[in-house]
Chain A
């Protein structure tokens, strides 16, 4: 019997490491088609509705960028953390905190006019996210607490603080008791870049964040130290890089970008504080960070793909009556296939021929039985 088996390549394949996300994408589409077929829908039509229809016009394309901006922002921060081997799962919480603090400042400045108001609101949001990320940083560096657990728990805490605020102190007094804040003034909202669309200034900030992340990782000594820490903490220690300082920098950077994502949402497409400012952007960003190979440029494109999954999920719900859970399902499949394909970076599939004698025996038998 010939069997397939995995064999260590002895070196990492660069080609596969770039090909793997593409392969994962194709497998996701293949499995998605099978699923649509099983649900009694035409796979081609559903795939068209999912992936093409949302971006078939200019408005659709701008919506893609609007959706992608917060995901990309969160993913840039996560990339820095993951490069340092810090498993920050807390982008969602940092995003919510950025949105909340930004909104709080915006509501206090409702009556104030001036071009400085929006920057102040944005910076407040970034500080909110940064402060929230400082908690796991302190716990990790001071008490060696596992950051995976602390950041996940802080996500729920921040969601509940946000819900408390929007149902209580920040609720619009003239809002008929709906759980939402007053609408922000025009000097507190992100300027729209293309008339008639929702493409806002925050999208440019996301692109800027990608550029800054790229410079940080490939051009600065801090970025180098972060990568050494992630790849080999003992070497970093030997070289005298300060581990706790690097942990602080990575987590605070992630807090700032995620906070920016949150405040861009409330001052951008939403325009006020509501309970559901994020449909899980911070979690989707984890997938995006890995799908983009922890590289800023890769993240940019992976972020656009993830945004398309969100838009497509809504589109198949509207057009074909498929459940919104499709989005989560596609995200999950994408991550699963990506991890599976990544195995091929280090291993290759070979035919197992460890028992050649037996193979010879069977081939000899065949003509005999034929006669």
Chain B
């Protein structure tokens, strides 16, 4: 190691090989499990459960057509989309307003609020379920989507507000002042000037809130009781009976579940690094 001249753009072939080799290996590990599930989903059940492993065998889309037509999957999918979309929209709005308030205004209760956000991350979901269930029941929200949306917001908003606060901190306050001179109220300043500049962080928030709602199982299984209200994450558990999991349908369903998350990821990924940065640096 240790070339004495500035050589960050030109590295030796060996080093280059090592670098790319490591990254390729890491990438393979990263996509491997998903790719394997994808390949398996194209095989019939007997091929999945055989101990002889092949990449392709009797390729078929039968698993997909079974999942899409013979189960309530499309309905669950729609439910999940609704829950995730609302969680995302409301989550972005409240995280942003809260993050902005905490970033810009030195109001009484600001520091305690930041601490509260951290402390909420410490509550084990499994333990909160019962008391939240009681509250939801009292509000008459059991077996409705708002119950899930509200519950997911409590998971996602504290972290997102924290992250957005960090990003807002990195936007110069001189912009706010200029907007105020132009006659913008604080909310207009936030909405028209600062929020558009925080697009990367908003993208990460969108990604995070969406994923929280999309993949959550515990609350969904506690609050939703009828089959036509299930979300995907919970509905899929029905393919996993205690003793005889239907692997072939599970693999196909897993792929179908991951696709929308992948789409959201695709739109958000450009912003992930820059969006998360400030949030991390300015805890």
Q: Do A and B come from one complex?
A: no
Question: CB within 8 Å of B: which residues of A?
Answer: none
